[in-house]
Amino acid sequence: MKPLFLPRHPVFPWQKTVCFLTLELEFAEVRDGDRDIFIDGVVARNRALNGDLVVVKLLPEEQWKVIKPESNDKEAEAAYESELPEELCGHHLLQQSLKGYNDSPDVIVEAQYDDSDSEDGHGNTYNVLVDGVKKLSVCVHDKGKDDASAQVTKDESCPMSPDTRATSEKSLQRTAKVVSILEKKHSRAATGILKLLAEKNSDLFRKYALFSPSDHRVPRIYVPLKDCPQDFVTRPKDYASTLFICRIVDWKEDSNFALGKLAKSLGEAGEIEPETEGILTEYGVDFSDFSSEVLDCLPQSLPWTIPPEEVSKRRDLRKDCVFTIDPSTARDLDDALSCRPLADGTFQVGVHIADVSYFVPEGSQLDNVAAQRATSVYLVQKVVPMLPRLLCEELCSLNPMTDKLTFSVIWTLTAEGKILDEWFGQTIICSCTKLSYEHAQSMIEQPTKKIPKQELPPISPEHSIEEVHQAILNLHRIAKRLRQQRFADGALRLDQLKLAFTLDHETGLPQGCHIYKYLDSNKLVEEFMLLANMAVAHKIHRAFPEQALLRRHPPPQTKMLGDLVEFCEQMGLAVDVSSAGALNKSLTTIFGDDKYSLARKEVLTSMFSRPMQMALYFCSGVLQDQAQFRHYALNVPLYTHFTSPIRRFADIVVHRLLAAALGHREQLDVEPNALQKQADHCNDRRMASKRVQELSTGLFFGILVKESGPLESEAMVMGVLNQAFDVLVLRYGVQKRIYCSALALRSYHFQKVGRKPELTLVWEPEDPMQEPAQQVVTIFSLVEVVLQAEDVALKYRAVLKRPGPKGCPCLEAKEPDLEPEDLEPEA
């Protein structure tokens, strides 16, 4: 499959394949289904950073890395352990010379953030086990004699004995070097701390300080002393915990160190606001105040009212029972719903989306800034908006009992969800109430009960509680049928655990956290948003087959998926990956009768999220093969984003296309390549936004562990290596690695039982009179863990709880401590 981004770059005669490089992992993730390409060390990276679009040259085969079936844990973790501190992320590969080969590159590589996308079929995770599943599958082979056991005691060295099997039984990992950076997507900014150089008598010591980035993927940076605080040289310890932002200004080809300039002092490391500002800066998020030129584009006469001439152009729905359903804290209300029963037993269902494009004139300074920001960025404690708050929270937001401009899709539907008629148009609504998901859920769960007025938000006098309640019930029934049909038609979802925090109102510190509950009311809203997005996609593509801004989701990476299927077979699990629907059915039914089914499904879901690719915006006129338009997870031929224009610029473009398709405005004066460039930028900013959200969640969870820990939870084992094992912590949804060397063990023993990797832990008894306790750890074992803060700011580790003197069989009989609600990403 020819990737979308190729037309933007020259096609070289030596080009063999196009793949994605995640420098966070120093791996090139190949889109054609082959194994990833390993970029071995800083020199091989050739000054490229995470996110950069680069050209790489494959090294000769004799320099490819040999992956042994029983590879060392440290070696494996270098490939995929993104959250480990720098000292634990080294690899043990032979350093090969990068000189002496011809200069013709072999591969164009585009970097990607290791994030998930909202409708990719999977949700947000802490991607600690990014490639763990593949490593596990590689570690097991059918051929030859299977001698994979090893005994290790505290006094023995960690590395395992060399593997003596034939080369044919080993897997080769392709390696390469970066020869050119086509596009610098990384901001070249980093947060970190300042240190004095170690060599006090050197010339460098008199000119430079050493900037040590928090992100170990960024090189250490020499910073001129004149940029440092005046008393830094005489009082360096005063700045030992001060967080700075540094920007790389130069990086010589033959140097492991870059040259940089301090941009700003943020404050104390480990505090929320300095850390947050550092995250935003590193990922290039514009969080500055909007300029006066931008604010001048907004209505100046407030309070603003809809002009009479605009009212006359639109379908007036202000008397209809229209309402919003959102998180209780939401201020930017993009979407509203309505449901009116008709005399023939059918229903008129409407999705009403804020008409943001009315307030954002094309080509204006406001439009330019919104296009550049491309998305709002949601942090745990605040939002960095794409648009000024006057628009986000007032003029565009569908606040109750206020006339609002909207774009609507209205269907006539049967009770079974069959579409009989469809209408698109510009409308005016007046929402009668602002419901939270919890309000709507209480109506769904109590269909016959009259909800007390005091338990609900204010409702406009033109409509009653009973009318809203009945509309919710009708929408719920239709949504259930739509959802059933969608999955019967082959859709996929990979539900993953998502953390939500409760914050102290005064300090802003996390007081606690819980797994977000995905309710029927969430599913109700999602179904109709998906329906609207699909309907609009078809409408704009019919009108502008060369100019439609759509959203595609490529199939999963075939090689990685195949490795995972092989691993599941080795674990005795039959998973059908022939289609999205087949995979969804397998994951839904595979653990049906097991009392740990939910926890085991979470583990397998996390594993199958890894091969999934990201959904991408694209211009229909640039991608020639319409088979590539498809959305894999939704299993539909066309899809777009229409329902969130307050927080996504792509939706504003889609609104403009829809208005032109309906004859409400002229056709967009933009060439397909220019629209593709905007789509690429939206993709980049969306990926960065996702990563920032994950880091914000990680920041707050790290603070919670530090302030309220240690935290105990049950965990399920996801992967077993010869000196460590990986777990999914069920109460908090985080993935961590537990090292045998960090436990109070007398010895540990790795072996394969059949094809399954297994660690036997022999605990040092607390009482010398007791016998050592043995504990067997294998895939899907349920264990007790403790999350403990480390000395490094906001870092935490997972430690296995010591079992009783008779071992740990009791752990196998405990029900996972987890709420049984599903999670599914927002559409």
pLDDT tens sequence across 197-212: 888 778 888 899 999 9
**Predicted pLDDT of residue 436:** 96
**Predicted pLDDT of residue 540:** 98
Distance CA 618, CA 685 (A): 14
Q: Identify which has the larger pLDDT, 523 or 111.
A: 523
Q: Are residues 405 and 529 in the same domain?
A: yes
Q: Band of the pLDDT at 4, cuts 50, 70, 90?
A: very low
Count other Cβ atoms within 10 Å, centred on residue 288: 8
Q: What is the mean pLDDT of residues 242-259?
A: 91
Distance CA 621, CA 336 (A): 32
Q: Band of the pLDDT at 27, cuts 50, 70, 90?
A: low
Flag whether pLDDT at 589 surpasses 50: yes
Distance CA 216, CA 205 (A): 23
Q: Are residues 408 and 476 in the same domain?
A: yes
Flag whether pLDDT at 72 surpasses 90: no
- What sign has the CA pseudo-torsion 58, 64, 70, 75? negative
Q: Identify which has the larger pLDDT, 790 or 374.
A: 374
**Predicted pLDDT of residue 785:** 94
* 441 close to 450: Cβ distance less than 8 angstroms: no
**Predicted pLDDT of residue 254:** 81
Residue 539 included in any domain? yes
Q: Are residues 257 and 317 in the same domain?
A: no
**Predicted pLDDT of residue 67:** 67
Q: Which of 128, 248, 78 is nearest to 736 (CA)?
A: 128
Q: Band of the pLDDT at 140, cuts 50, 70, 90?
A: very low
Could you give phi then psi for residue 260, rounded to 5 degrees? -145, 180
**Predicted pLDDT of residue 119:** 59
Q: Per residue in 510-565, pLDDT tens?
A: 999 998 889 999 999 999 999 999 999 999 999 999 999 999 999 999 888 998 99
Q: Are residues 638 and 748 in the same domain?
A: no
CATH number at residue 57: 2.40.50.690
Give the mean pLDDT of the chain: 81
Q: Are residues 410 and 464 in the same domain?
A: yes
Residue 569 included in any domain? no
**Predicted pLDDT of residue 600:** 86
- Residues sharing a CB contact under 8 Å with residue 588, sequence separation 6 or more, in sequence order: none
Flag whether pLDDT at 626 surpasses 70: yes
Residue 827 included in any domain? no
Distance CA 606, CA 719 (A): 12
Domain boundary among 185, 216, 240: 185
Residue 200 included in any domain? yes
DSSP annotation of 395 reads: I
Q: In this predicted structure, which of 69-78, 641-650, 767-776, 795-804 has the lowest mean pLDDT?
A: 69-78
**Predicted pLDDT of residue 35:** 59
Flag whether pLDDT at 71 surpasses 50: no
Residue 132 included in any domain? no
Query: Is it true that the peptide bond before 611 is cis, omega within 30 degrees of 0?
Result: no
**Predicted pLDDT of residue 717:** 94
Domain boundary among 673, 698, 723: 698
Domain span including residue 198: 187-269
∠ CA 693-377-501, nearest 5°, is 45
HEC-encoded secondary structure of 404-464: EEEEEEEEEECCCCCEEEEEEEEEEEECCEEEEHHHHHHHHHCCCCCCCHHHCCCCCCCCC
**Predicted pLDDT of residue 740:** 94
pTM of the model: 0.83
Q: Are residues 54 and 191 in the same domain?
A: no
Feature table: binding site: 326, 335
Flag whether pLDDT at 104 surpasses 90: no
Q: Are residues 321 and 453 in the same domain?
A: yes
Q: Which of 90, 92, 61, 95 is nearest to 162 (CA)?
A: 92
**Predicted pLDDT of residue 211:** 93
What is the per-residue burial (b if ≥16 Cβ within 10 Å, else e) of 186-207? bbbbbbbbbebeeeeeeeebee
Per the structure, the count of domains in the chain is 4
Flag whether pLDDT at 351 surpasses 70: yes
Feature table: binding site for Mg(2+): 326, 335
**Predicted pLDDT of residue 692:** 95
Flag whether pLDDT at 120 surpasses 60: no
Flag whether pLDDT at 102 surpasses 80: no
Please report, for residues 306, 395, 408, 430, the alpha-carbon distance to residue 309 in angstroms, rounded to integers and kept in the order given.
8, 18, 19, 18
Flag whether pLDDT at 218 surpasses 80: yes
Distance CA 584, CA 601 (A): 11
**Predicted pLDDT of residue 458:** 95
Helix or strand or coil: residue 644? coil
Which of 114-118, 325-329, 410-414 has the largest mean confidence? 410-414
CATH number at residue 233: 2.40.50.700
- Residues sharing a CB contact under 8 Å with residue 317, sequence separation 6 or more, in sequence order: 338, 350, 352, 406, 408, 427, 428, 429
Residue 764 included in any domain? yes
Q: Are residues 469 and 548 in the same domain?
A: yes
Q: Per residue in 691-745, pLDDT tens?
A: 999 999 999 999 999 999 899 999 999 999 999 999 999 999 899 999 999 999 9
Distance CA 648, CA 370 (A): 9
- Helix ranges (H only) for 345-419 are 365-373, 389
Q: In this predicted structure, which of 55-59, 146-150, 687-691 has the lowest mean pLDDT?
A: 146-150
Q: Are residues 517 and 403 in the same domain?
A: yes
Distance CA 55, CA 176 (A): 10
**Predicted pLDDT of residue 149:** 44
Q: Are residues 751 and 692 in the same domain?
A: no
Distance CA 487, CA 417 (A): 14
Helix or strand or coil: residue 151? strand
**Predicted pLDDT of residue 595:** 54
Q: Identify which has the larger pLDDT, 490 or 25.
A: 490
Flag whether pLDDT at 268 surpasses 80: yes
Could you give phi then psi for residue 353, rounded to 5 degrees? -115, 135
Flag whether pLDDT at 804 surpasses 70: no
Residue 505 included in any domain? yes
Residue 576 included in any domain? no
Flag whether pLDDT at 122 surpasses 90: no
Distance CA 23, CA 29 (A): 10
Q: Are residues 322 and 446 in the same domain?
A: yes
CATH number at residue 751: 2.40.50.140
Query: What percent of the chain shows pLDDT beyond 70?
Result: 79
**Predicted pLDDT of residue 433:** 97
- Which residues face 250 on adjacent strands? 259
Q: Identify which has the larger pLDDT, 811 or 42.
A: 42
Q: Identify which has the larger pLDDT, 127 or 593.
A: 593
Q: Are residues 333 and 203 in the same domain?
A: no
